Structure 1
Amino acid sequence: MCNDYRLEVDIASIAEDFENLQIKIKMPEGAPNVPAREDIKITDIAPILRSVEGERGIGELVNRRWSWPGPRGKPVYNFRSEGRAFSSHRCLILADGFYEFTDPADPKQKRLDKWLFTMRDHPWFCIAGIWRESAAGEAFTMLTMDAGPDVAPYHHRQIIPLTRDQWADWLDPTVPTNEVLRWLPPGSLPVTQVYGAPPAQGGLVR
């Protein structure tokens, strides 16, 4: 399950792409600081575009914590989408890649193999998420589903990258969840191996 992702695209490019899709961005806390990061990990602060209740095609760009504390204190960084409507508090998580970890191909290697998934044809993309108030303040989590054809060889579950024509629909909570959250066509998520991977970090998947 994804516990590490990447964002190295500058905020100006992100804002321009949203404008081209006629998604209006509000920055209620000012322009967020979005430094290029190869690894965004659980509990890190990262940018999201959250929905504005009652307004389609508008989102608020803010920095928030990835994961909220679960009942026993473990971070909820992934959240199952099946059977849930998500009629409020939707958000788009900005990324240009995400990682999965597998047992090492070399049995002598103690560290897990690390794999980077990117979006074919686009330099960056959005991951479907939700946000909520928590004991740690406002925080977001990534939604998950059974793995599609690109991710299944590496993990039985996956987060949900969205194509650009899905972004406005996910920000609109009146659009049913099952009309937005679905697998991408095979070959949409090219994968490359990253060496020197640390072991996957523990946490709570809901």
Structure 2
Amino acid sequence: MCNEAARRIPLDQLRSDWGQTRIPLRFPEGLPNMAPLDSIRITDASVIIRAAADVPGEAELVTRRWSWPGPTGKPVYNFRSDGRALDHGRCLIPVDAFFEFTDTPTEPGSGKKPPKSKWRFTMRGLNWFCVAGLWRTDAKVGEAWTMLTTAPGPDIAPFHNRQIVLLKPENWEAWLDPLVPAMDFCKPLPAGSLSVEQVR
């Protein structure tokens, strides 16, 4: 499951690239502090884009927490999309990379478990992209978001048995439309869509 991402997207670039959609983007809380973040982890705050509740046909960018507490208190930071309508609370999570972790073989006789290997994934041909997400209001933490997951595509399968739902720019507008079936987007990308680099 994805529990770390990076967002080093200048606000001006985000605004410019968003212009290829037909949805006006508003900043109801003012322009956000979008300092580069090399690591966004569970419970950290980052920007999301969602449909504006008060102005149909427009979107808004706000800063919210990653994850809300689940029934057992554990954070809901990933949410399975499989077989779900997901027609309420959709959002886009802008990132330029995400990370997965794999076990590292233990040295014979060391008796110590080494740190997991860390892999950075980026989308080929794009400076940044979006993860499909959901946001909700939680009584304890307020508004928060989670990343949707699906079956792994060929680029992810060697590293994990699930992957987050990744959306290219041409899909951003449709994802925010609750009338468009979620199943149209909640599926892995074709082989070669992602680049991977070992960073630890």
TM-score, normalised with respect to structure 1:
0.90
Native 8 Å contact 1:55 1:172 kept in 2: no
CA distance in 1, matches of 2:105, 2:184: 38
Letter of the 2:168 partner, please give it.
T
Letter of the 1:139 partner, please give it.
A
Q: Could you tell me which residue of structure 2 aligns to residue 68 of structure 1?
A: 68
1:154 aligned onto 2:159: yes
CA distance in 1, matches of 2:167, 2:106: 34
Letter of the 2:48 partner, please give it.
I
1:186 aligned onto 2:191: yes
Native 8 Å contact 1:169 1:180 kept in 2: no
Q: 1:55 to 1:106 in 2, by over 3 A?
A: farther
Letter of the 2:149 partner, please give it.
T
Q: Could you tell me which residue of structure 2 aligns to residue 40 of structure 1?
A: 40
1:14 aligned onto 2:20: no
Q: 1:190 to 1:105 in 2, by over 3 A?
A: farther
Percent sequence identity over matched residues? 48
Q: Could you tell me which residue of structure 1 aligns to residue 24 of structure 2?
A: 24
Q: Could you tell me which residue of structure 2 aligns to residue 120 of structure 1?
A: 124
DSSP-derived class of the 1:15 partner: helix
CA distance in 1, matches of 2:188, 2:151: 9
DSSP-derived class of the 1:131 partner: strand
Which ranges of 4 or more aligned residues in structure 1 deviate by more than 2 Å? 20-23, 52-56, 105-109
Pick aligned residue for 1:167 from 168, 172, 181 = 172
TM-score, normalised with respect to structure 2:
0.93
Native 8 Å contact 2:130 2:167 kept in 1: yes
Q: Quote the RMSD (CA, aligned, Å).
A: 1.4
Native 8 Å contact 1:2 1:78 kept in 2: yes
Letter of the 1:87 partner, please give it.
D
Q: Could you tell me which residue of structure 2 aligns to residue 201 of structure 1?
A: none
Shift of 1:9: 1.2
Shift of 1:101: 0.2
CA distance in 2, matches of 1:156, 1:182: 13
CA distance in 2, matches of 1:51, 1:110: 44
Q: Could you tell me which residue of structure 2 aligns to residue 100 of structure 1?
A: 100
Shift of 1:180: 2.0
Q: Could you tell me which residue of structure 1 aligns to residue 56 of structure 2?
A: 55
Unaligned runs of 5+ residues in structure 2 are none
CA distance in 1, matches of 2:176, 2:116: 35
DSSP-derived class of the 1:167 partner: helix
Native 8 Å contact 2:122 2:195 kept in 1: yes
CA distance in 1, matches of 2:26, 2:105: 46
Structure exhibiting the larger radius of gyration computed from Cα positions: 2
Native 8 Å contact 2:163 2:188 kept in 1: no
CA distance in 2, matches of 1:162, 1:20: 14
Shift of 1:106: 5.8
Number of matched pairs? 194
Shift of 1:21: 2.6
